[in-house]
Structure 1
Amino acid sequence: MPLSKRGCAMAGFVHLLKLSVGTESVESLAAWQASPGAQGPDGLPRHVTRMFPRREAEVLGGGSIFWVIKGLIQARQSIRRLDRVMGQDGIERCAIVLDPDLIRTETAPKRPFQGWRYLQPENAPRDLPAHRQEEDSLPPELAGALAEIGVI
């Protein structure tokens, strides 16, 4: 499939955008996802949410979940599948099953919102180059200021 200028396959898929509430950095998100409470029986990290995406086929057609940490989009993970799971309260939920690899992206400011949102591929921040994937996160205030003026 041809690639867009952003390095994503063109057409046929959509991403999800989600706040990572209580997360301080990409490193703390990775640590939480490595904990047994964040993993399913298959050992893969998952995020359980109340709503099931109506655009399931598009999400599974190559979508990722982009994580907003401290008001900035900072990382993404490929979505492997969407599982229907039953909560202890008897309510059906959606487990977004993720690839364990967190990929750092260019930072982009994002205002708070509830739940998750669809993110079109052309609006998604680009992945950082491979040589920058292991860098420590900048303090959120600095990263936000630099993103606002287009430096990062």
Structure 2
Amino acid sequence: MAGTIHLIKLSVGSDSVEQIEDWQQNRSKQRVNGQYFHLTRMWPKRETDLLNGGSIYWVVKGLIQARQRIIALEEIIGDDGIRRCGIVLDPELIRTATAPKRPFQGWRYLKPEDAPPDLGKSRLNDDTLPPELAGALAEIGVL
């Protein structure tokens, strides 16, 4: 029986969750059946676990801030003939509690017990703290 596993990925060049959302909705041409996909070189070996309720957790400015449910993994063959993995994502970005994360390359697996919780609906309209302040508070366990 499959378990669930998540991915964690740096959102390079993003300053906010809103920028990720804008990029995916309005700028990116990376689509499979109308759905945005994130392109990666490596195919996840734990595909079954990812497709069993997994999400991709986005790190923005050194903090995990949001996640998106993974819908599918699609084979994408580039113009160079190289096979890549298109991680097809649900369009909804779900805000999470902020958690500091040091830089890393590519993506990593994230165990469900290590993933930050989703923010409650009542906190979605809270003012967003500057990333430096949110990071400092998360490091001391306040956020």
Fold match (TM-score > 0.5): yes
Contact 2:65–2:96, Cα closer than 8 Å, also in 1: yes
- Structure 2 residue aligned with 1:140, among 128, 131, 136? 131
Q: Name which of 26, 29, 35 aligns with 1:35.
A: 26
Gaps in structure 1 of 5+ consecutive residues? 1-10
1:52-71 counterparts in 2 under 5 A?
52-71=43-62
User: Aligned runs of 1:2-151 on 2, under 5 Å?
Assistant: 12-151=3-142
Q: TM-score, normalised by structure 1?
A: 0.89
Offset at residue 88 of structure 1 (A): 1.5
Alignment check: 8 A CA contact 2:32 2:88 kept: no
Which structure 2 residue ranges, 5 or more long, are not aligned? none
SS at match of 2:31: coil
Contact 1:74 1:108 in 2 (8 A): yes
How many Å separate the matches in 2 of 1:95 and 1:35? 18
Q: How many residues align?
A: 142
**Structure number with higher strand proportion:** 2
- Compute the RMSD of aligned alpha carbons: 1.3
